[in-house]
Each structure stands twice: as C-alpha cells, then as structure tokens.
C-alpha cells in the first residue's frame, strides 16, 4: 500500500479531487479546504441570474471525500506550509488556533481569485473564504465558507439584479473576456429590461481566441441590444469616458470582469512570483510541477533531492520561463487558468509521487521496460478548449488553440453548443462528486492513453 505515506491536498477543487481519486488506493490522502462545499466555478454565473441552478453546481465535500472516496477531509484554512519540516498549520472551521499536521507529500490545488483590483481578489465568481479577506470584504455579514452562506450571497445579488431590471437600469460590464461576455449575456437573457454595455481595452471580445469566435459573440451581443465598445480603457472618473460609451450620466451598476489574482497567502515569499496576473504571488514551479524558490532550488526536497511538494492548477505561475526568449518560446508557455490544465497537472503530479516512491524503493524500470523518471509538464492540448456561454440557448466552442494568439478553430456554436456545455457541466460535477457516469465520461480525458498532439508523452503518464 505504498508504505501508507501521507499526502496532503490543499484545496477541494477540480484538481484536488482528481488527486484524491488517483492516490487514494496507495496513500493516506487528506484534503483540506476552507469551505465545506465544491462549486463548479465555470457555471456559477448562471446561478446569480437563476439561483436554483446553484444546486446543480455544488455538493458538500465531507460525504464525498470520506464516505465515497475513503479519504480524509479537514474543513479549515491552511495558514502556513513548511516545506523543510513537511508540516502545515491549519485553522479548522471551529478552531481558535491553528493546528499542525505532518505529511510526506503535498499537492497544492488552492486555485485563485478573480478580482485583480481588490486587495483580497474579491469577486462574485468565487466565494470569499479566507479569514482576513472575510473581515475586510464587501459582504462581511455573509460567511461563504458555508454552503448556506454562499446561497444567501447569490440570492442577495439576484435581488439586486431583479431591482435593476424593474427600474430599467443601466449596467456596465468592464472586460469582454470569457467572464464578461458570459455575464453580460446571462443578465440580458434573464433580465431583458436592463440596459447593458460591455467594454474592453482590446480591439475585440474574447481577445486571444480566433477571429470567428470573437465575431460570433460580438454579433450575438449586438443582436440582443448589448452595446459593445472595444479599444477603450475604463476610466470611471472621466466624464469623457462615459460620454464615449453612450452613458453620459454613468451606469447604475458596474461589474469588473477582468483577470485573476493569486491567493497563496500560506506560502513563504521565496516560493512566490514577483510578477504575473494581478501583481504576482503565484507559486513558482519547475518542469515536474515541483514548487521552486526564486533562486531556482526545489522547495522542500527530501534528502535524496526528490520533490515532495507540488503546485497544480490555477495557484501556480502557469509557465516555466526560458531566459532570453519570448513567452512563445519558453519551456512551458503561459497556460490559461481554466479547469482542464489543472486536472492534467494533477495527474502528472500524482504520477511523479508514484514514481518517486518506486525510485526510493530501488525500482529503476517500468514493468514493460523503460527507465523510471519523473514526468515533465508540457503545454496540455486541453488548455486550448474554450466553451463560452451566450445565455442558456447559445454558445460557442473553440478547440485546438495554443499559446499563440488567435489560434484554434470555432467548431461548435449555437443551440447544439449550449447543450454541449450543459453536458460538460453536469458530467464534470458528477465526476467530482465521485459519480460513476461522470468518472466513466472523463477518466480517459485526463488519463489519455496515447497523446497524438499537445507535446505530452506518446503513451501517457
């Protein structure tokens, strides 16, 4: 049973649950999360305009992790991670002081926040769960560590939108990326009396995606009466800005839908980037997804030099730089912060833990031949798939995109694409809840037996 080594997973996200599924048979796996529930983040926009939809996106973590998976769950916030001692200080939900637990391996799947201009990254799209952020946030009366608290927040925002609709108010959406376009079209569908305007500083919506997808989404928004303005920078204090976008008196409500922000408050400064989206703070990683320090050393390596701590998904820097070369030519070009790459990284980190144990036990070759060595990360083929909702009855799907701007092909659109996205949402949530149907659908997506493209190893991990 792998010596029953202890693996600590920080975050009950897509990637965190993926790690538990992969390691539970051979290791003692413990997942720690500051909230009591899983939430399918890509679908949460719909919940704000149709609150009943939240039930389809969430489930309580403890019964799934402990009763179904056979792992352990700690409801609490990691306050400090020590790579040298391999310990974590965790403040449990009802604990007054942090408690210290030890581990043999740790995989950090802590995700990120979506409000780059807010001190704590506060936004509607992810619950406010960190201790300091809750006390300084815009809704301190609501505790979103509880599923009921999350529900109450969504109902409050829904009530505001309903009032805006009745008053025929004007709303400005700042940012025409995936979140901005989806948010504007969701509001437009469920609250048709609201006067919507969306802006972006780029010359089109969905900036990095192919022209065909951008045109399709822009045409849809214009057809629905949403005013679109591109190549314009937000300047809320400038009357000329408001006049330029046809709102001389300003907007009744503004929603900022731009970028992401790191929330790795428990990590030491030497492991965090000084740059990147939202001002930096992303966990530095090496080619094997091991946590690195700023001076290029493996953080928390054991006495034999093997990595013991990995960072996967949205919490990490998302790339490995090659000095003197542009981002397109880096060892790992920047990876989008979407769910698929995080799960791909989780599988690679799990494979490296299995391989480390084999190497430490003296095994040097796989059963079918070939030397055992730690797997390296690459730019995953699934990072080039983007499904953008345009309300509940329309959408567009891009596949084959890579790190180069405007790459990829819009291969599905319209009504069939909206059905496709609903199937993805339902099956992924079921997979994370350890449902049989979801696992059957998605297992081989992440355990791809043969990689024909995407720079992965030909015969998987």
Task: Give the distance from CA 10 to its chain's centroid.
Answer: 14
pLDDT average, residue stretch 145-157: 97
H or E stretch covering 89: strand 87-92
Whether residue 171 has pLDDT greater than 70: yes
Cα(78)–Cα(15) distance, rounded to whole angstroms?
A: 17
For the cut 60, the answer to whether the pLDDT of residue 458 exceeds it is yes
pLDDT band per the 50, 70, 90 thresholds, residue 3: low
* Residues 435, 445 contacting (CB under 8 angstroms): no
Average pLDDT in the 128-155 region? 94
Q: What is the pTM of this model?
A: 0.94
Edge-to-edge order in the sheet of strand 105-108: 99-102, 87-92, 72-82, 28-33, 6-10, 105-108, 309-311
Tens-digit pLDDT profile for residues 293-347: 999 999 999 999 999 999 999 999 999 999 999 988 999 999 999 888 999 999 9
Q: Is residue 124 exposed (0-12), middle (13-18) or buried (19+ Cβ within 10 Å)? A: buried
Question: Given pLDDT bands bounded at 50, 70 and 90, which one contains residue 460?
Answer: confident
Domains of the chain and CATH, by start:
2-116+261-378 (3.50.50.60), 131-258 (3.50.50.60)
Give percent of the chain above pLDDT 90. 82
User: Out of 70-79, 183-192, 398-407, which region has the weakest mean confidence (pLDDT)?
Assistant: 398-407
Q: Name 58's Cβ contacts closer than 8 Å, sequence gap at least 6.
A: 37, 38, 39, 40, 147, 150
**pLDDT category, 2, cuts 50, 70, 90?**
very low
CA gap 447, 461 in Å, rounded:
8
Closest CA to 51 of 144, 159, 142: 159
Of the two residues 400 and 147, the one the predictor is more confident about is: 147
| Mean pLDDT, rounded, of the chain | 93
DSSP β-bridge partners for residue 315: none
Cβ-in-10-Å burial (0-12, 13-18, 19+) of 410 comes to buried
DSSP tally for the chain: helices H, then strands E: 12, 16
Q: Does the pLDDT value for residue 49 go beyond 90? A: yes
The model's confidence at residue 452, banded by pLDDT at 50, 70 and 90, is: low
- Pairing state of beta strands 99-102 and 87-92? antiparallel
Cα separation of the two ends of the chain? 20
Picking from 120-129, 188-197, 404-413, which range would have the lowest pLDDT averaged per residue? 404-413
Mean pLDDT highest for which of 158-167, 324-333, 438-447? Answer: 158-167
Q: Which two tokens stand for residue 170?
A: 């004007």
How high is the pLDDT of residue 1?
A: 40
């Amino acid at each position: 049973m792998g010596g029953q080594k202890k693996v600590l997973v920080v975050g009950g996200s897509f990637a965190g649950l993926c790690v538990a599924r992969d390691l539970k048979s051979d290791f003692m796996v413990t997942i720690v999360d500051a909230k009591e529930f899983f939430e399918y983040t890509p679908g949460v926009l719909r919940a704000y305009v149709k609150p009943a939809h939240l039930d389809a996106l969430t489930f309580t973590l403890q019964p799934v992790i402990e009763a179904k998976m056979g792992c352990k769950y700690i409801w609490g916030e990691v306050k400090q991670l020590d790579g040298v001692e391999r310990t974590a200080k965790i403040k449990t939900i009802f604990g007054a002081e942090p408690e210290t637990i030890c581990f043999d391996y740790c995989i950090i799947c802590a995700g990120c926040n979506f409000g780059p201009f807010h001190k704590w990254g506060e936004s509607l799209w992810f619950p406010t769960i960190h201790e300091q952020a809750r006390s300084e946030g815009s809704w301190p009366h609501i505790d979103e560590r509880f599923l009921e608290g999350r529900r109450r927040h969504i109902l409050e925002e829904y009530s505001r939108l309903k009032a805006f609709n009745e008053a025929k108010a004007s709303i400005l959406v700042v940012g025409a990326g995936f979140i901005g376009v989806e948010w504007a079209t969701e509001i437009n569908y469920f609250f048709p009396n609201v006067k919507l305007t969306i802006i972006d500083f780029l010359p089109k919506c969905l900036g990095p995606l192919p022209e065909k997808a951008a045109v399709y989404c822009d045409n849809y928004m214009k057809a629905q009466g949403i005013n679109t303005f591109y190549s314009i920078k937000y300047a809320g204090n400038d009357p000329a800005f408001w006049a330029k976008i046809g709102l001389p008196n300003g907007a009744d409500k503004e929603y900022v839908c731009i970028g992401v922000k790191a929330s790795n408050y428990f990590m030491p400064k030497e492991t965090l980037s000084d740059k990147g989206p939202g001002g930096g703070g992303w966990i530095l990683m090496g080619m094997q997804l091991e946590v690195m320090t700023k001076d290029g050393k493996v953080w928390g390596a054991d006495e034999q030099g093997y990595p013991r701590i990995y960072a996967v998904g949205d919490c990490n820097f998302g790339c490995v730089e090659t000095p003197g070369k542009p981002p397109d030519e880096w060892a790992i070009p920047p990876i989008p912060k979407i769910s698929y790459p995080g799960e791909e990284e989780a599988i690679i980190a799990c494979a490296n833990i299995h391989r480390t144990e084999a190497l430490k036990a003296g095994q040097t070759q796989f059963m079918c031949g070939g030397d055992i060595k730690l797997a390296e990360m690459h730019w995953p083929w699934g990072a080039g798939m983007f499904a953008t909702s345009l309300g509940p009855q329309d959408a567009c799907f891009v596949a084959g995109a890579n790190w180069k701007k405007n790459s990829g092909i819009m291969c599905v659109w319209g009504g069939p694409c909206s059905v496709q996205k609903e199937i993805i949402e339902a099956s992924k949530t079921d997979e994370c809840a350890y449902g049989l149907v979801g696992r059957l659908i998605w297992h081989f997506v992440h355990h791809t037996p043969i990689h024909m493209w995407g720079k992965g190893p030909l015969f998987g991990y």
